Amino acid sequence: MKKILFGAITLMVGLVVLAGFFFQDPFGPALTLIYQWGLVLVAVGGLIGLGTLAAFHIRNIIQQKKGWISSAVLLAAFLFSLIAGFVLTPQNAFYRDLILNVQVPVETSLLAILAATLLYASLQLIRTRGWTPLSIAFMASAVFSMLFNLGLIQTASGTLGEQVLMFFRRLPLVGARGVLIGMALGGLVMGLRFLLSTDHPGGER
């Protein structure tokens, strides 16, 4: 019964949203209302997520699991940011400086780790994947794409050489479009699966 009810509501809401896309005049107000409800639900989900984050670290501290000191530091920072946010509000210049001057350097350091990780992984590409057509094509396209976009190779305007160069510069965009079209198709089918209640976000079977 629960499954049927859930499926019926999903189908009804999905069809109204779909109809609202094509028939904007009659379904426009309903569409706005559904979006607003959706936003409220997502916000509540976000709060539950924050509760889960706090619960995970409180559990770590109580059970004195490995790294519980890090959990204590995280919880203290979390509570400090939360209380300061409520007292000073996020629009306050001092609060923004306080948070951003910690958050931005930390995230930048993670970006640096990412750059190093990717460089190391790229050097290991052939060792990881072997000499396969896909790995060779990936490596060659990455190298040539970087070379062509460095601007070292120049041709006279209006010549065949310029057209060839432009073709190779645009080639990654063509590939990206191909991937995006495929992703759009996949997204369409995934939407249909949930609309027709073949799958449920809550996993009901």
Q: Tell me: does residue 125 bind other proteins (CB under 8 A).
A: yes
Q: Fill in the amino acid letter for 118.
A: L
**Per-residue binding letters, 17-56, with other proteins (x by CB under 8 A):** --x-xxxx----------------xx--xxxxxx-xx--x
Q: In whole angstroms, what is the distance from residue 77 CA to residue 83 CA?
A: 10
Q: Tell me: does residue 186 bind other proteins (CB under 8 A).
A: yes
* Cβ closest to other proteins, residue 92 vs residue 103: 103
* Cβ closest to other proteins, residue 87 vs residue 127: 127
Q: What are the φ and ψ backbone dihedral angles of 148, each rounded to 5 degrees?
A: -65, -30
Q: In whole angstroms, what is the distance from residue 132 CA to residue 37 CA?
A: 49
Q: Tell me: does residue 8 bind other proteins (CB under 8 A).
A: no
**Residue 159 DSSP code:** S
Element (H, E) at 185: helix 160-195
Element (H, E) at 110: helix 93-123
- The residue range among 83-91, 148-156, 158-166, 179-187 that interacts with other proteins, by the rule CB under 8 A, is 179-187
- The residue range among 28-36, 66-74, 82-90, 159-167 that interacts with other proteins, by the rule CB under 8 A, is 66-74
Q: What are the φ and ψ backbone dihedral angles of 202, each rounded to 5 degrees?
A: -85, 0
Token pair in block for residue 141 = 């396209």
Q: Tell me: does residue 155 bind other proteins (CB under 8 A).
A: no
Token pair in block for residue 111 = 């970006």
Chain residues that interact with other proteins, rule: CB under 8 A: 19, 21-24, 41-42, 45-50, 52-53, 56, 65-67, 70, 74, 103, 106-107, 110-111, 113-114, 117-118, 120-122, 124-125, 128-129, 138, 176, 178-183, 185-194, 198-199, 201-204
